[in-house]
Structure 1
């Protein structure tokens, strides 16, 4: 009787290694598309085709599909049944509605925190503003936009309300994208200075002044974004746009890592 042919058993380490590799690819693709969105390199209405993205980023269409679904859930992309994923192309009224909601939410946030910031909280906010300033000076536009949005989320964390933080995350996510799509790169310098003014106002005794500083900040941002929304550019070629992120670096990271110095405020 012939000997039974041995079967190959996948060791747990093999499975975990495969899962880690897949997760690494997913995160590389997610970081590349997010970077392109927040740096303003993807224009409103640009279609993100699975096949073109997979070829541009050197990965499977399955990995692209997962990342597009994730970004769609985060409201950073528009997903249309049987049509695919698109960079949002919001109307003026859509954007005004989001900024209106942010003003309402953040007015309550300012009222909660004014005169109540601890020394440690104020120091944490100033460290965050310093990180924003570094991103602007190093011309990392996508990082500057992300960090500017996170300043407002840090305020929400200090208010100790999980529900408020969850809602503000969605609003800030939308306005980060509007800023990336329609604001000028030079405007990134405004956020750190205006955020420093918000910290100083929150530490003072006047709620009226703190409210005025915070809401004027949002008003100015909205006006710049709406003014820039009229300038529409043609969609970029995906292959050239994602060329730097297509292959991992020798250290296992994305080749796009170095490009973060080139471009990454709300």
Structure 2
């Protein structure tokens, strides 16, 4: 009978199937570069809160992608995120726009803030711990530094976060979530219509709120907190009538411009 041939593969024949199998393996999916998204988000947010983007300005994907050196897909994701945060208006088949709210829209948002924040003050009056008071004062110091260093967008953001810090101290996540939406709107109103010099008022008025919360009169604490919101609303409404030309996006987001 014929002898059966050996089936032991040679080194070269054994390596060929392995190489073929390696070639047949699917390529690994690329990892999303979240750093690009965050860079673009930070640039557009900074432009919004610095007041460089005027009401009604269209944010075109192609122009932004060229100005920021990224893909239109990255721009699209960031614009959608800002739309969810109520910092931009997204219109179907038209694109993204800087909000151009009416006077009544703005008054309605400030009215809601007064109602909500009156409840926050009532809840926290006489109840702040030493640690909470220290945290609030530390936050106000950060606001003061931002203003002195000319970081207007940071000063506006920190001013809004002071009120969110108070809401967080009530222990109600539902209340905090609602106030976050209101503050996002009023931060943008302030950036669009308030003067840069007015940012100096917030830290001083926030200090007064902290002192009033630890004082002897709830009526006084409410009066201080609501007067602060009234002043903000009056300045924003007064500045809302000023019309300005929309900036050139390429110049705005050029290196050093954002």
Q: How far apart, in 1, do the equivalents of 2:94 and 2:163 lie?
A: 34
- 1:189 corresponds to which residue? 200
Aligned-partner SS, 1:79: strand
Unaligned ranges ≥5, structure 1 = 245-254, 260-266
* Counterpart for residue 23 of structure 2: 7
Classify 1:52/1:116 alpha carbon distance in 2 versus 1 (closer, same or farther; 3 Å): same
1:138 aligned residue: 149
The 1-side partners of 2:61 and 2:233 are apart by 33
Structure 2 match to 1:75? 86
Deviation at 1:10, TM superposition (A): 7.6
Residues of 1 paired with 2:58 and 2:247: CA distance?
A: 10
Instruction: Report if aligned partners of 1:75, 1:173 keep a CA contact under 8 Å in 2.
Output: yes
Instruction: Report which structure shows greater RCO (CA 8 Å, sep ≥6).
Output: 1
Distance 1:10 1:129 in 2: 54
2:159 corresponds to which residue?
148
Larger radius of gyration: 2
Unpaired runs of 5+ in structure 2? Answer: 1-12
* SS across alignment from 1:243: coil
Q: Partners in 2 of 1:126 and 1:115 — Cα distance?
A: 16
Distance 2:144 2:27 in 1: 48
Kept in 2: contact 1:114–1:205 (CA 8 A): no
- 1:144 and 1:176 map into 2 onto residues whose CA distance is 10
Q: Which runs of 4+ in 1 moved over 3 A?
A: 3-6, 8-12
TM-score, normalised by the number of residues in structure 1:
0.87
TM-align CA RMSD: 1.9
From 218, 238, 252, give the equivalent of 1:207: 218
Partner secondary structure for residue 105 of structure 2: helix
2:252 corresponds to 1:241? yes
TM-score by length of 2: 0.90
